[in-house]
Structure 1
Amino acid sequence: MFHVVDFEKWERREHFKYYTERLKCAYSITANLDVTLFKESLRKNNLKFYPSFIYCVSYNINSMPEFRMRLGENSQLIVYDIVHPNYTIFHKDDHTFSDIWSEYTDDFYKFYDNYKCDMKKYSHIKGVKIKANQPKNFYCISCVPWLTFTGYSTYSSESTPSLMPIITYGKYHEENGKWLMPFTVTISHAVADGYHVSKLINSIQETIDKQSFLVSDGVLTPPDA
């Protein structure tokens, strides 16, 4: 489900018009996340980093309407009620990857089970898109686990910048007793400014620090606006 943005009441209507009609641009912001507490908590709870981190990112993206915007029918700007993560599987034998998506839910343990079921069914299948019926309301997240980078940019030649956020993170490394991990958000300037991306990254850091989703019910409440 989704709702259509009311342009007459939307505070970003002039910004959206400018960045879709006059200056069609996207941008990327890379910052280090401190995953020290997160790694230790996952180790104690015998949980995998990849699905747990995808959940944390998905939870925060779903908490902010700026990252759930898309163009619908008749070029209407819509905001989905929920978006699902589309992530990648790396095949070690031939060094290719496959795209897969899992259904998102605020309940961490249900999402973790969704991920495990999808991995069990699709992880050995080759191809770019290996799970059918990918919903329109998705976003992309992937990892470059072989490299600690300081910047990352994703773009398509001669195309309009996507309103969908593209998330990329890299290899975490130890520095002064902390484990730091590069994290990049790429987004169209039409829907999100530096303020919104900063808020997203800071909220993800807060989520992985508190790890409150690891309580018995596994359900988080949205962060304050």
Structure 2
Amino acid sequence: MNTQFHIIDKSTWERSIYFDYYYTQIKCKYNLNANLDITHLVEAQKACGLRFFPIMLYVILKAVNQHKEFRMSFNEEGQLGYWEEVVPCYTLFHPENKTFTDIWSEYSADFETFYQTVVSDMAQYRDVTGVIKARPGQPANYCPVSCLPWLSFTSFAQDTYSENSLLFPLIKFGKYFKTNGRIQIPVSVFVSHAVADGYHTCKLMNDMQEIAECVF
């Protein structure tokens, strides 16, 4: 796991004025929702006999790790910067009591390594209940991802009622569906406007689309 943290020099950073404006004045966050075409991804996944969730998680994390805007954070000294890479933090649903826990896994750009890591971690921690964090030791460089497999939503919005310094995106995907012979999946990205504009989030979504078409 690469935990290198790059401190940003705000005196030369091109987004410095935008960060200050949206982090301290307007305090703006936003959601962007889009459907991704995952026809090839699902067909290949079924042909290979693999599980869908770890594959979709890989698509999302690989895209996130291509953009420093979505790997930004404050370090322990309160300095703004970005991580060399982030790891996935994701939820496990417990059907027996309709609760969830979340865990994290190491990230690898290599699909096979990432897939096997996530499948192994899900098996190891799936029976841990009664806590929010089922796997201890969550690192500071994490990206939260969760799935709503019961609904093909058209929009998803979320926010918190208190001030917080979280700059990572919150990413959710729903139930995939077929339309006009193609398979699509809704994806929602909750973003701090201080670190990413619409351009950056659209690029993130478009990169997810491209990765979904070439995983296999």
Give distance in 1, aligned partners of 2:70 and 2:8: 13
Determine which of 104, 111, 115 is the counterpart of 2:114. 111
TM-score (ref. length: structure 2):
0.95
The structural deviation recorded for 1:156 is: 0.8
Show CA shifts across 1:60-101 (max 9, x none): 101100000001233211110110000011111111011011
Choose from 8, 16, 33 the match for 1:5.
8
1:133 maps to a residue whose letter is G
Q: What is the alpha-carbon distance in structure 2 between the residues aligned to residue 194 and residue 160 of structure 1?
A: 21
Q: Is the 8 A contact 1:68 1:80 kept in 2?
A: yes
Instruction: Report what 1:137 is aligned to.
Output: 141
Is 2:21 the partner of 1:18? yes
Question: Residues of 2 paired with 1:123 and 1:134: CA distance?
Answer: 16
Instruction: Please tell me the root mean square deviation across aligned C-alpha atoms, in Å.
Output: 1.1
Distance in 2 (CA, whole Å) between partners of 1:42 and 1:189 is 35
Alignment size in residue pairs: 212
For residue 140 of structure 1, what is the amino acid of its counterpart?
P
CA distance in 1, matches of 2:139, 2:78: 18
Specify the code of the residue in structure 2 equivalent to 1:202.
N
Identity %: 41
Q: Does residue 101 in structure 1 map to residue 118 in structure 2?
A: no
Q: SS of the residue aligned with 1:130?
A: coil
Note if contact 1:62-1:68 (Cα within 8 Å) is conserved in structure 2: yes
After the TM superposition, which of the residue ranges 128-137 and 114-123 deviates more from structure 2? 114-123
Distance 1:161 1:34, change over 3 A: farther
Find the aligned partners of 1:75 and 1:136 in 2 and give their Cα distance. 13
**Structure 2 residue ranges without an equivalent (≥5):** none
Q: What is the 5 A alignment of 1:202-221?
A: 202-211=206-215, 214=216
- In the TM superposition, residue 161 of structure 1 has moved relative to its aligned partner by 6.1
Query: What's the CA shift string for 1:13-51, capped at 9, x where partnerless?
Result: 000010111111210000001111110011112211100
Where do residues 1-225 of structure 1 align in structure 2 (5 Å cutoff)?
A: 1-126=4-129, 127-160=131-164, 162-211=166-215, 214=216
Inter-partner Cα distance in structure 1 for 2:157 and 2:164: 15
What is the CA–CA distance in structure 1 between the aligned matches of 2:189 and 2:45, rounded to whole Å?
Answer: 24
Name segments (4+ residues, structure 1) moved above 6 Å: none
2:201 corresponds to which letter in structure 1?
A: V
Are 1:24 and 1:160, in contact at CA under 8 Å, matched by a contact in 2? no
